[in-house]
Chains A and B, each alone.
Chain A
Amino acid sequence: MQNNFSNIFVRLVASLGLVLVSGIAAIAQDALTKGVVKDAKTGEPLIGARVQIKGSDKGTVTGIDGSFNLPVEQGQTLVISSLGYTPREIKVAGESVTVSLQEDTKALNEVVVVGYGTQSQKAVSSAVTSVNPEELKGIPAPSPDQLLQGKASGVQISSASGTPGGGIFVRIRGNTSINASNEPLYVVDGVFINNQSLSGLSLGGQTTNPLADLNPADIESIEILKDANATAIYGARGANGVVLITTKRGKTNAGTRINFQTYAGIAKAPKIYETVNAQQEAELINETYRNDGGNPALVPFRPKSEGGLGLPSEQTTYSRIPDVFRTALTQSYDLSASGGGESNRFFLGGGYFKQEGIVKPAAFERFSGRFNYDHLVNNRLTIGTSTTVSYSKRNQSRNDDSAQGVINSALYVPTYLPVFNEDGSYARHSIFDNHLALINNLNIKGESSRLISNLYGEYEVLDGLTFKSSWSLDYNNYSDKVYNNTQISVGLPAGNTSRVDTRLVTLLNEQLLTYNKRFGNDHFLNVLLGNTVQQTRYNTLSLSGRNFPSDNFQEIASSSLQTGSTNSSQNGLISFFSRAGYTFKDRYSVDGSMRADASSRFGAANRWGVFPSLGASWIVSEEAFAQDLPFDLIKLRANIGLTGNQNGINDFASLGLWRAGRNYDGLPGISHQQLANPDLKWETTRQWNVGLDLGLLQNRLKLEANYYNKYTKDLLLEVPVAAKTGFTSVFENLGEISNKGAELNISSTNIARDDFSWTTSLNVARNVNRIEKLPIPINQHSRDWIRMEEGGSVYAFWVYKQLYVDPQTGDAVYDDVDQNGSITVADRQIVANAAPDFFGGLNNQVNYKRFDLCALFYFESGNDILNLNRFFMEHGGTRNGSITYLPGQLDRWQQPGDVTDVPRMTRTGNNYSLPSSRYIEDGSFLRLRLVTLGYTLPAEVLSKYKVSNLRLYVSGTNLWTLTNYSGLDPEVNVAGNNQNVRGIDHAVVPQPRSFQAGLNVTF
């Protein structure tokens, strides 16, 4: 089987090679008439426009710069046509012609970037969302994915925390997997890029975002492919949607434009934590003591003369929380040059970005450069590159689920305990660090070096037939450096340091053969055929040192105990794919695609997966019978397809393995590591999508609606096995998950005058996730707060449901589900869910004369949050002396008759020990995500200074949030490193409120 495929592969690549060679041989030709086809409105070159000599079948298609060469005799007439444009005829006079085509305003005319090419909007049957990041310039985000929040329907995006460069949660149409990845595939200029955090540090569950290596300023457009017909061409990696990022390129014959953009801003936490004061805390501790039967005369806070800690009223409150928050600065500079001559075009850009976190000492800094270049060797052959390099530095800190966290150190420590010892040294209490010691001594650095490059050659073999071969590289090197001195607890007793260098390199070779041809006026055919060979290698080198002579030494070489380790892994993927589309009369389109992938991750028996899709669309409004309807556009779309998923599982998941490094007494040992499953194969997602596009009032009101239904089977599941076997789990294809949902996008041009325009767009999405089959429930997070079980959904909170607090006894009464009179694990139940019922965005854009104003709202509704801060800090006395209280504890039951949901203070019983529903809150929110006000200076003023464009703007983010959530911020997630955990708040850095001022100038 495999040999067979290898043979096919050899033959295919060889024949593609033949095509390439014969193409190069065809370079030498007669002198030609040169021409350029442009968009009449924008002046941009039109790619793929058809140029034909009237009355003959001789013709060609314009290249990437809109140019064509054709042997034409003087006086002959050329017919120039392009999808979405009104065709034009022109008589040839002279050696070169420039033709401008008018947009065909009656129809949808945009070209949409799709997998491995572009498609006319007219012919698209898939759900694809395009976002222009220029619109979102006011958001001071280090990574492009953050800009998409609220802009792309059906795409849920939220930051795990307000830490710059930190992990981002991105879901396109829900979760399809439990143990394999749910992250979309990111493709930058044709390069599949890594978006898995390479940092090897454990920082309380926080992660880093590898997409922060990309400079948002370099990006021209972002397309999000959502349904199966759009993503099936990405086969085994398409199930979670695909994000295509296209970066900026120059323009031929355009001269050189210099662009400079900058902004600077400040950010603050809109709200910081509050705790009880020392007097209240002391009273609560005394109350616990009395309630638990302690002698009232011996409460801990009694006069010092009686051996106590002093009366509650004598306690001093030590404030810590404001110390760790700060007003953080952001600055961003981008300088670029772009342009091109007759046979080349380029974009050269460099950027610098620095952002401080609002909680000390976090910071993110990035240097980036981009070089995009295309060169026309001759009229048929184009070569070029898209290359970006970047170097990012992170200053990191622990937070979230870490007792050594910065917020934790300021938030948890009992307020009556002093910050400094009597001798002036940092006082440390319980398991928490001194917060000042932490922010002054934390030394956790992350450095990411990234090179993403693509080199290509594209050759037009015949009219409409193009062959493209490209070689790509994603080189990602991440270096963690940690030094803990003895001022912080993890550095005790004599300091320690560690360094982890991780390298992930993906090499990709791709061949593409595309054929676009219009036959007569009514038939348009496009066919694409390609193959890729991909290899990914992963290596880590970790070193650590312990025991330093003093805090003055930091290098591993200075330590007395040194250890080192390495790790490596690799995987490969060989794929063949094809897509074909046919459009009749510009109104009926069918298209389909097919991809076959072979992955090294699976056993030989199930190595190949085949992923087909089929779609159709009908532009009803083009029909005669629809001409009287009040619609400018009516388009119906439907498609169905299969996609796969193999990401997120380890490279050798199908093998039975024994691992070395299980050493004893300095001697090398091995023990069992993993159970074999030779039948392991892809997860497969079947998705269908139906859509409706409407245009009304001269297309001033547009509506796009989609309904989708995804069903994923053969989940790559880490299935628990009886531990008596010595193993606890095995990877199996078990379990099924469905996601059904709808997306609605409405955009309206409310006012469209030359000096005044106002557009509004609204998107709303709903996704319903259901775990259809799961052999046994799977619990997540500490204390099993989250449970996935058959019939339930992902992100469901599994707790003991507190019904009420008994007004007579003050004890919590839990739902005794099995009514056996005692509260056991059988009484735990799912009561809430962190996934929203609805989410979306509302954007308003107003342009008045030279002013522009943008206001973007983002909302999530129906998402629940588990407030773990309350679990730990409304502890009812169980953590007295080591953790203080949130003010909510003051509502506790005190005497018979009190009606409250906070039980009486006690260290015993299950009032405060159980994972209770009491800590779950509604996390719905509506947020003013962005407001930008810009002013563009008049051209007549600027021209004196040879400036072609200058825009000044101010913006604010997160200025206003409407929510009932009691924590700092409803956009929160403690465990970014676990994709099955959402909506848990635990000492997380909140989303900052920020103000920016910026300018964008072009010379």
Chain B
Amino acid sequence: MKHIPSNYKVLALALVVSLSSCDNILDPEPRLDISSEQAITDKRGAEAALLGAYSELQSNSYYGFEYPALAYLSADEVDWSGSYNLYQQFDLNAIPAENSSIKSVWSQIYRVVNVANNLIDKVPGIQDRNLTEAQRQSILGQAYFLRALSYFDLGRAWGGVPLVLQPTVDKNSGSGIKRDTLEQTYAQVLADLEQAELLLPSLTARTRASKEAVWALKARLYLYQQNWQKAEEYATLVINSGKAKLVTPYSAFYTGKQTEESILELVYDNADRNSHANYWMTSSKGGRYEWKPSASITQDLRNPAIGGTRSALIGTQTNNGNELVYGQKYTKIATGEDGAFILRIAEQYLIRAEARLQQHNLTGGLADLNEVRKRAEVQPLVTLDLQAALLAVEQERKVELAFEGHRWFDLIRTNRAEVVLGITNANKFLFPIPNSEMLADPDLGPEDQNPGY
């Protein structure tokens, strides 16, 4: 039995060696993730998080499809023709608070807010020799811009919302933050835009926020706030910057990518797909044909005196002897490369046209309006009636910005939704706060729900 001890030693050694891997068994490291603490600590981390913020912005629950879709479904641009009745509820302007799109869009916008909050909180403190001051400012400026855009989109769709401005660290973060008013929300948007304007350089890539993008969003914000003078001022800054131009033909800006038309356009590719086309295309083109251009917009776009070359937005195909009409702004179903046109120059002309008309500058207003009409090969409008000119701007926005999610908000901000859309219940002009959020957020009492839901 003398050999036992030596055997034992060998075996015990082997066991101890094999057990040294025990810590690995109980403490495996995640491979796809890093801890929150590691996330934004150096230049590369900050840049990655900024790209992450754009990635959240381009999500299908936000600009990749759903946010513009909820707006154009709610207006009179499209008719629901599919099977998802969660979208039909927008078409009928009868949205229950438990509608799942309402929930996903709301949550997604706040995802952008949180990434932006993290950047705004952490980037100023990053100690990294490789991070130049210009880069730091650019990252911060873009973060402020993205937060401003997010709160603007929340505000115009839901009214005032909870303004979370600090990064979330645990589940108690954000507690105590209640709904603010729309005025406060827009004030925050403006404050962030002011910061971004100081920090951001001039436009070099249309896929990223720039000083011109800040001006363009400011122009839109002031338009919504009916601050005509400021709206005109910032639209003028954008137009005069020369960084963006109306491209011809009209269809060039959406058939191409990041054309000169765009001030800020989100880019999509095969790996990061824009799913808009899936909902617009007919089944023979691989889509769901979930909705189609409404009869009224089809008529307008096909009318040479109204739509001009924008008739390109309407596609047709024959199915068993019937004509199917479908929209052609988002068609790249194979590659998923359709863009999200967040800010483009035609809108700036129309903002300035409206702002000038509101300031009784008929000539200037018509000049801007006719710039847009000229590009679409529609005859210039000649009128001496200010009200007629304003209605012409409304009509022009309908066809020029079709399917980009403007008209719903336009008709509400101009108090025209009741007349044009026939919605008599003004409560319907705001989306409901998602029912899930009412349940999950202790800072939201029943009284915080938008009226009528």
Contact = CB atoms under 8 A, between A and B. Distances in A.
B118 A672 contact: yes
B436 A660 contact: no
A882 B7 contact: no
Contacts of A674: 33
A725 interface: yes
Contacts of A20: 11
A986 to B, nearest CB: 12
B81 A882 contact: yes
Contact of A730 (B25, B30, B171): B171
Nearest to B332: A493
Interface stretch (A187-195, A562-570, A756-764): A562-570
Interface string A649-674: 00110011111111111111111111
B207 interface: yes
Interface in A471-512: 489-494
B333 interface: yes
Interface residues of A, number: 100
B98 A723 contact: no
A696 interface: no
Contacts of A724: 110, 113, 161-162, 164, 174, 177, 437, 441
A403 interface: yes
Contacts of B272: 663-664
A990 to B, nearest CB: 23
Contacts of B38: 658
Given A431-B288, A574-B25, A664 B440 contact: no
A879 interface: yes
- How many of chain B's residues touch chain A, expressed as a range? 35 or more
A697 interface: no
Contacts of A784: 98
A430 interface: yes
A663 B54 CA distance: 8
Given A723-B110, A882-B82, A882-B83, A669 B48 contact: yes
A734 to B, nearest CB: 11
A674 B106 CA distance: 18
Interface string B1-40: 1011001100110011001001111111011111111110
Given A25-B4, A430-B283, A665-B207, A421 B271 contact: no
Interface string A396-436: 00000001000000000000011001000001111111000
Contacts of A429: 283, 319
Contact of B35 (A2, A658, A667): A658
Contacts of A658: 33-36, 38-39, 49, 52
A599 B440 CA distance: 30
Contact of B320 (A418, A546, A669): A418
A607 B23 CA distance: 12
B173 interface: yes
Contacts of B48: 660, 668-670
A624 interface: no
Contacts of A535: 25
B52 A725 contact: no
B435 A825 contact: yes
B36 A656 contact: yes
Contact of A725 (B30, B81, B114): B114
A784 B441 CA distance: 19
Given A656-B36, A722-B440, A662 B286 contact: no
A752 interface: no
A600 B27 contact: yes
Interface string B57-85: 01000000000000000000000011101
B121 to A, nearest CB: 13
A672 B118 CA distance: 10
Interface string B297-332: 000000000000000000000011000000000000
A14 interface: yes
B97 interface: yes
Given A722-B443, A724-B174, A25 B7 contact: yes
B11 A574 contact: no
Contacts of A31: none
A561 interface: yes
A598 interface: yes
A191 B323 CA distance: 62
B334 interface: yes
A629 interface: no
Nearest to B282: A428
Interface stretch (A5-13, A124-132, A806-814): A5-13
Contacts of B360: none
Given A567-B32, A656-B36, A724-B441, A17 B171 contact: no
Nearest to A872: B83
A148 B302 CA distance: 65
A574 B24 CA distance: 11
A655 B168 contact: no
Contact of B52 (A403, A600, A662, A666): A662
Contacts of B224: none
A878 B91 CA distance: 13
A664 B453 contact: no
B4 to A, nearest CB: 5
Interface in B414-436: 434-436
Given A10-B15, A25-B1, A25-B3, A726 B115 contact: yes
Most B Cβ at <10 Å: residue of A417, A421, A652, A725: A725
Given A670-B34, A882-B81, A722 B4 contact: no
A721 interface: yes
A384 interface: no
B275 to A, nearest CB: 13
Most B Cβ at <10 Å: residue of A563, A567, A658, A726: A726
Contacts of A561: 270, 334-335
8 contacts: A10-B15, A533-B25, A546-B335, A656-B36, A669-B50, A723-B103, A723-B437, A913-B85
Given A669-B49, A776-B440, 16 more contacts: A17-B11, A21-B11, A417-B320, A429-B319, A431-B283, A493-B286, A546-B334, A561-B270, A561-B334, A658-B33, A669-B54, A670-B39, A723-B110, A726-B164, A730-B171, A913-B94
Interface of A: 2, 6, 9-10, 13-14, 17-18, 20-22, 25, 403, 417-418, 421, 427-433, 489-494, 533-535, 546-547, 561, 563, 567-574, 598-600, 607, 651-652, 655-677, 719-728, 730, 732, 776-777, 779, 782-784, 824-825, 872, 878-879, 882-883, 908, 913
